[in-house]
Structure 1
Amino acid sequence: MSVNELGEDERLAKDSFTSYRRSYFAGGRSNNTWGARLERIVQVIPDKLAFVQGDRRLTWKQFDERVNSLSNALLDLGIKKGERVGIAGFNSIEWMESYFAISRIGAVPFNLNPRAALDEIAYVIRDADAVAMIVEDEYARVIERVIEGIASSRHFIVYGVGKSPQCIPHGALDYDDLMTKYPSRKPRLRYRVTNEDFCYLMYTSEKTGYPKGVVWDGEQRVKGVEQLVYNVLLPSFDRYGDAKIFEFLFNLYPLPGLRTLYRLSRRFGFIRVAVIRFFRMTWGSGLMADVSRRLKKGGIKYIPVCPLFQASAYVQTFGNIAAIGATTVFLPTPYPLDARELLETIEREKVDGIMINGDAFALPILDELKKAKKEGRTYDLSSCRSITSSGVGWASRTKKELCEFLPQVVVMDAYGCTEFSIGYGSAAILEDKELPCAGATLPAKGGVYSLQAPFKVINRETGREVKSGTGELGEFVAEGYVSLGYWKRPVLTRRVFRVIDGRRCFFTGDDGYVDERLRFRFVGRGGKERINVGGEKVYSEEIMEVIKSHPKVRDVAVMGVPDKELGEVLAAVIELDEGEELSEHDVVKYCSQSFPAHKIPKHVMFVVSLPREATGKMEKRVLREFVESRLGSEAY
């Protein structure tokens, strides 16, 4: 497949961070670099637990020393400030050590899905002009094949997760050997690493075409993910007066006197806003980390279940570290998901919260809970107070069932993009009549949401902000902590990163409306990803949400396929719950209760299992090939 066929036209062969660099007030500082943030945490809570994976446990001091050893090794290998170094592997302590070590010396880490197609892996490594790769041993042979002939690549380092690497290709370096060989003292740099420097090159998860590299400096990335945690928690703060949600927040930050403030805030709304302002002021400070660890034995423990090479898990994990010095717990077997191992880990480690990617992760967890109940097994999951999801759709029915098994849990559906650090969320509990999907709430004057990162919803045709409560569709435009642009794509950067009223904004391509309560309701991806059925624009996400609500449906994908009469029509590919039966007629009849004719799928197919990536996202290319093979000439 050619570059242009994948939508990569107008891409530069070479690029420089100089094209993206921005200046900030006191921008020469280094407080918003990952090296400086790690140093701050080590100064405040050196002996507190930083990472857990299986039987391995590292304090922040121990983790810092290992990061230093790897940093010194990378410097000795000749890796320079600003050069890109890729990390290919699933969630592990070694992944985190690699990321912080690359960052500490001012080099630039970039993410790579090691289970992506070979052409995609090769594309990302070439696009990044990678000088080195740090790779989990299971994927070493794959990466070895890919980097042959890539001129920029100079070094290949292989690690095992908690053990010596089992496969080290010829010419590759052993991660453990480097750790042993080099000192654990802080590396001596002949240059400074500042907030304005190239911090991270994060590749997107594309539905079509190759991933795009999103350029970040320290100011927008580090400070941004710290504020993300606060921003996602705002809906919970807004419901501070709800007893169950208060317990979730108190567990996060058990400040003396908070219960008294809780009782008063139920009578006086201004107290709630004052408490939230206090959280905002202390978020990311050494004070927050220190007090949290002193008041809550063991601190906050959190499991990113979905992979760190996807934006949703990355920003939440690094946000928790930056904001409160949280302990990150990785599963002993990070891929594929073993739901039983996850629940056993929550029970054993007394984990406070987990991060998943929608139904792709929630459904296996639900299956294991149901299986355990049937077999008379029990899990003590009382420590788990929150389940956060982002990046992939999460059906209300699935949320409700999970809440029935875990009644103490607050479920948070977060909305965000790779291109901006901030996330916007919703908070729900078992007792709620409505469990809202991912979205955001516009600020009301003087209210809780006036404290969040700003955004707009702009009508694509008029260029004006949409009116709330009218159903008027608009594009979500993010304003807070926005990336610097797309690597090697100046034309696309100018198109979607624009300045409005003096603020740098990112036009997400996501369409929705603002309801009467000022909440942005995501409808679907706009632009070219909308399906044109006889001149009517249809969002696949809207159709999937309704089909998923059917009690016999486990999962569904909807796409547009060519049609002789209408140009495009809808095709639905459905995975049923085990033992259930449903006909094409049943699906059409169910959809007709909610939609006009042009939104009802013309083609309905059933499969044993829908193809999903390691991130939980649908494998669109595989799915399209399947649908086209089933329809044949009928689709044309």
Structure 2
Amino acid sequence: MLFPLTTKDFLDRAVEVYADRVAIIDEPDQPAASWGEITYAELGRRARSQAATLDEMGVPVGGRVAIVSQNSARFFCTLFGVSGWGRVTVPINYRLTATEIRYIVEHSDAEVLLIDPELRQLADTIPCKRIFVFGEDDEKIWASDAEPAPWVGDESATATINYTSGTTAQPKGVQLTHRNLWLHAVLFGWQASVNDRDVYLHTIQAFHGHGWGHPYAATNMGALHIMMRRIDGREILSRIEKYGVTYLCAAPAVVTSILDAARTWGGTPPGRGRVRIIVAGAPPATRIIERIRDELGWEFLQMYGQTETTAMLTLNRMRAEWDHLDPSEQARLLGRAGAPALGVRLRINDDGEVLAQSNHNLLGYWKNPEATAAATADNWLRTGDGGRYEGGYLTISDRKKDMIITGGENVSSIDVENALKSHPAVRDVAVIGIPDDKWGELVTALVVLDEGAVATREDLVEHCRPRLAGYKCPKRIEFRDELPRTVTGKLQKFKLRKEFWSALERQVN
């Protein structure tokens, strides 16, 4: 027998086995009325209603439904209501500018756009056949009492298109299939020990690679989902205490905010001996790992992967062989990217770049066969990261792509450079990431002004604001007389980076 693997399987099992169990506690503080507590049976009913409504709208199997929203029960339900019946979810980073969001909606050929109430102004600037605002248009989104048209299921079909910032001027749409998402969620859930006693706090926004697969993995096991709209260290600790949270995922910047909040908590921070935290987005410093384990008493896991790999390629977790080592040495070992997950194959090419094969690597880049061919030549995914693979463990040491990762967000230096170059006073500019304790990397612009031109750091940042998402705007600007270039005019960023990174062993932070 052979049955297709689809994202609907996770919801179907939860509805069958855990129907009366509370599935979601929605974010209480949001512009739309909170859904409060809903059971898995009710989640299943709403997902079916959403799918039936899309039927009535004439959105075909394979049609794209874009969503721009922070975490909420509505967003969570949409992950199943769209792809569970054969359509394609296009989750978009709500922090992008209207211009960037418009590009993604148009490039994906989305037929429906779902918007968070705080972003309702997008409806006036982004053309789409059908636009609905969460909360205000709920009766139109979840309107049908009919059963949705059955979908036979095709595990090779695209389930989501996740747009990722790249080194080119425009983001690329990563096509992930039902098979990609299914295998990844099961694998990650297993390696992270997800079980039916878990309470999962959504500190990763769902647009980030479908929340690293945990909306599926935790649903499959009937775990309780705690929605969190805005990320704040003290609020994270409060919800861990209030709801008995057992695990969460976080970028290093979020970890820093939690540790800062813990110092002023006024007692033992909650979750000691109970919480496990999965960190990814950039390799955390060894001292951060030590603080998580010592000051919080949480278990630390590190994941390495990309949107193109449906998230996880490797996972690093404490193992029995390290029990006799002192905590500093344990933290050092945990600081590596980790061991390959089941079915993942890794190798380092002659240029020092990490290459990967797995059953959950992307199908391709949406409407971009050239980029797909370049990234997957010889059936190996080019990660763009440099590293070492020794003794079954991967260590990331450098980034081959011209990419900055700040607070877990990818920032294309080219995007920032183009924004700055549009200022009339700027003659030349190079944007790099420099090490920063809070953000991992700080978006830094090295600027050469035209002779006789005048512009302050504040002028240049204000010039960038309407052109870039806030997290992409340079946080530090230095003025230079010239920038190093080759005889052919190519910018030598490695020379610029050296003055900031030379004291560190790794060229990522």
Correspondence for 1:330 among 227, 233, 241: 227
Q: 1:86–1:561: structure 2 CA closer, same or farther, 3 Å change rule?
A: same
Q: Does the residue aligned with 2:395 lie in a helix, a strand or coil?
A: strand
Q: Closer, same or farther in 2 for the Cα pair 1:50/1:383, shift >3 Å?
A: farther
Give the match for residue 420 of structure 1: 309
Q: Judging changes above 3 Å, is the alpha-carbon distance between structure 1 residues 480 and 182 closer, same or farther for their aligned structure 2 residues?
A: closer
Q: TM-score, normalised by structure 2?
A: 0.75
Matched-pair identity in %: 20
* 1:574 alignment counterpart: none
Preserved CA contact (<8 Å) 1:207 1:619: no
Structure 1 distance, partners of 2:243, 2:393, is: 36
| Pick aligned residue for 1:147 from 126, 146, 151 | 126
- For residues 555 and 40 of structure 1, what CA distance do their matches in structure 2 show? 39
Give the Cα separation in 2 of the matches to 1:198 and 1:34.
11
For residue 479 of structure 2, what is the aligned residue in structure 1?
631
Report the counterpart of residue 42 of structure 1 in structure 2. 15
Deviation of the 1:178 alpha carbon? 4.2
Which residue of structure 2 lines up, in the alignment, with residue 364 of structure 1?
257
The alpha-carbon deviation at position 371 of structure 1 amounts to: 1.5
Alignment correspondent of 1:577: none
How many pairs align? Answer: 427
User: For residues 37-81 of structure 1, what are the alpha-carbon distances to aligned partners after superposition, in whole Å with 9 as ceiling and x for unaligned?
Assistant: 311221122112211125622211111011112222121111111
Amino acid at match of 2:474: L
Matched, 1:490 2:369: yes
Question: SS at 1:480's partner residue?
Answer: coil
Correspondence 1:86 to 2:86: no
The one-letter code sitting in structure 1 at the alignment partner of 2:329 is K
The 1:523/1:72 distance shift into structure 2, 3 A limit, reads: same
1:348 aligned residue: 242
Could you tell me how far apart the structure 1 residues matched to 2:315 and 2:43 are? Answer: 31
* Deviation per residue, 1:527-551 (Å, 9 max, x gap): 55699xxxxxxxx88x73xx75xxx
Equivalences for 1:39-438 in 2 at 5 Å? Answer: 39-54=12-27, 56-141=36-121, 143-148=122-127, 153-160=128-135, 165=136, 174-179=137-142, 181-183=143-145, 186-189=147-150, 191-206=151-166, 209-230=169-190, 232-233=191-192, 292-293=195-196, 299-311=197-209, 313-322=211-220, 324-331=221-228, 334-335=229-230, 337-358=231-252, 360-372=253-265, 376-377=266-267, 379-382=269-272, 384-407=274-297, 409-421=298-310, 422-428=312-318, 431-435=327-331, 436-438=334-336
1:512 aligns with 2:354: no
Which residue does the alignment assign to 2:495?
none
Question: Residue 245 of structure 1 corresponds to which residue in structure 2?
Answer: none
2-structure distance, mates of 1:439, 1:505: 19
Equivalent position amino acid for 2:83 in 1:
S
> Residues 397-420 of structure 1, C-alpha deviation per residue, up to 9 Å, x if partnerless?
22222322222x211111001111
Q: Deviations over 1:81-128 (max 9, x none)?
A: 111000110111000112211113311111111220222111101110
Distance 1:524 1:316, change over 3 A: farther
Change over 3 Å in CA distance of 1:489–1:208 after alignment to 2: closer
Do the aligned partners of 1:42 and 1:64 also contact (CA within 8 Å) in 2? yes
> For 1:39 and 1:441, how far apart are their aligned partners in 2?
32
Higher Rg: 1
2:453 maps to: none
Equivalent residues of 1:478, 1:506 under 8 A apart: yes
- Structure 2 distance, partners of 1:441, 1:393, is 14
Quote how far apart the aligned CAs of 1:632 are: 4.5
Runs of at least 5 residues in structure 2 that lack an aligned partner in the other structure: 29-35, 405-412, 414-431, 449-456, 485-509
Shift of 1:509: 1.4
Q: Deviations over 1:177-225 (max 9, x none)?
A: 543x421x53133x52321222111111446632210112211222222
Equivalent position amino acid for 2:254 in 1: F
Contact 1:304–1:355 at 8 Å: present in 2 too? yes
Q: Secondary structure at the match of 1:419?
A: helix
Q: Any conservation in 2 of the 1:303–1:351 contact (CA below 8 Å)?
A: yes
Q: Does the 8 Å contact 2:353/2:383 carry over to 1?
A: no
Measured after TM superposition, the shift of residue 514 of structure 1 is: 2.2
- Residue pair 2:7, 2:181 contacting (<8 A) in 1 also: no
When the two chains are superposed, the root-mean-square deviation of aligned CA atoms in Å is: 3.3
Shift of residue 338, structure 1, vs aligned partner: 2.5
Q: Secondary structure at 1:215's aligned position in 2?
A: strand
How much has 1:495 moved relative to structure 2? 1.3
Q: 1:33 to 1:217 in 2, by over 3 A?
A: same
Q: Deviations over 1:434-464 (max 9, x none)?
A: 423352336xxxxxx7xx2222223235xxx
Deviations 1:418-443 (A, max 9, x none): 1113331112599352423352336x
Deviations 1:579-621 (A, max 9, x none): xxxxxxxxxxxxxxxxxxxxxxxxxx9xxx9xxx9xxx9945x
1:454-489 CA-partner distances (Å, limit 9, x unpaired) = 22223235xxxxxxxxxxx34232333211110111
The secondary structure found in structure 1 opposite 2:171 is coil
Contact 2:249 2:277 in 1 (8 A): yes
Deviations 1:225-259 (A, max 9, x none): 221333x54xxxxxxxxxxxxxxx6xx5xxxxxxx
1:440–1:226 CA distance, 2 compared to 1 (3 A):
same
CA 1:110–1:54 in structure 2 vs 1: closer, same or farther (change >3 Å)? closer
1:558 & 1:112 partners in 2: Cα distance?
22
Taking the aligned partners of 1:347 and 1:60, their CA distance within structure 2 comes to 23
**Runs of 5+ in structure 1 lacking a partner?**
1-24, 166-173, 234-248, 253-291, 294-298, 443-448, 462-472, 532-539, 564-604
| Cα distance in 1, alignment partners of residues 273 and 470 from structure 2 | 32
Q: Retained in 2: the 8 A contact 1:226–1:319?
A: yes
Is contact 1:312–1:391 with CA below 8 Å preserved after alignment? no
Shifted more, 110-119 versus 476-485: the winner is 476-485
Match of 2:66, SS state, is strand
Q: Return closer, same or farther for 1:388/1:154 CA change in 2, 3 Å cut-off.
A: same
Distance 1:477 1:188, change over 3 A: closer
Quote the Cα distance in structure 2 between the aligned partners of 1:178 and 1:102.
11
Q: Give deviations 1:350-374, integer Å, cap 9, x for gaps.
A: 110111111x1112111111122xx
- Equivalent positions of 1:532-551 (< 5 A) are 544=435, 548=437
- Does 1:455 find its partner at 2:340? no
**Paired residue secondary structure (2:317):** strand
Mapped partners of 1:328, 1:69: distance in 2: 21
